[in-house]
Amino acid sequence: MPDRLKWFRESELVHSRWAMLGVAGILVQEIAKPDVFFYDAAAKTELPFDIRGVLAAEFLMMHFVENLRMQDFKKLNSVNQDPIFKGNKLPDHEPGYPGGVFAPFIPGDLEEMKVKELKNGRLAMVAFVGMIVAAQVTGKGPIANLVDHLASPMTNLFIGVSPGCAIPPSVDYQGITIPTPCLPLWPGA
């Protein structure tokens, strides 16, 4: 069981880092372009190339990186050597914290920074779920929801919103239909 617990911690780190990036991206996008709803912004973007090629390349690259991460977890520091450029090697590290070129400067005590990262990551995961649920219910982004709440705090509450789904059930993008179901939190949603 301790090995599973270590893997769960590794997974929590990865998910929290993605959540922190996602929450920051949603907020920056809404500040930069408040007229664009983050939930369907990507579907309205026109690309000069077919998205299926990008998805295929992304799946292959992420598969490669995730396999390396799993191998490094099973046998620590076993994938530090670059497979193509033999002169490149990462320093030995602990799982989740590669160091070296990925952390050339650490602004404080590393152990304290790890705890802060984990706490901020957990908060970001909860914030991301909250942003998604609020967007599904209201059809607005987090800053627009905050502005509405501040304008009328007693009428614009999360619990005061009538249950339902304000987003379409699917989005069509370059000939691909992507289902966008609401989270199953509301009866009849």
Q: What is the reported pLDDT for 19?
A: 96
Mean pLDDT per 10-residue run, the chain (189 residues)? 77 92 96 89 85 91 89 82 80 74 76 91 95 88 92 76 76 86 62
Please tell me what DSSP assigns to residue 85.
-
Measured between alpha carbons, how far is residue 170 from residues 48, 56, 179 in Å? Answer: 23, 21, 4
Q: Please report the pLDDT score of residue 89 as a whole number.
A: 80
Phi then psi for 113, rounded to 5 degrees? Answer: -65, -35
Which tokens go with 180?
């966008």
The whole-number pLDDT of residue 128 equals 95
Chain position carrying tokens 């705890």: 115
Q: Which of 24, 7, 10 is nearest to 96 (CA)?
A: 10
Q: Would you say 23 and 127 are in contact if contact means Cβ atoms under 8 Å apart?
A: yes
Where on the phi/psi map is residue 72: left (φ > 0), alpha (ψ -120 to 50), or beta?
alpha
Between the CA of residue 100 and those of 20, 93, 94, 171, what are the distances in Å?
Answer: 22, 9, 12, 42
Quick one: tokens of 24? Answer: 């920051």
Please tell me the predicted confidence (pLDDT) of residue 62: 93
pTM for the structure as a whole = 0.81
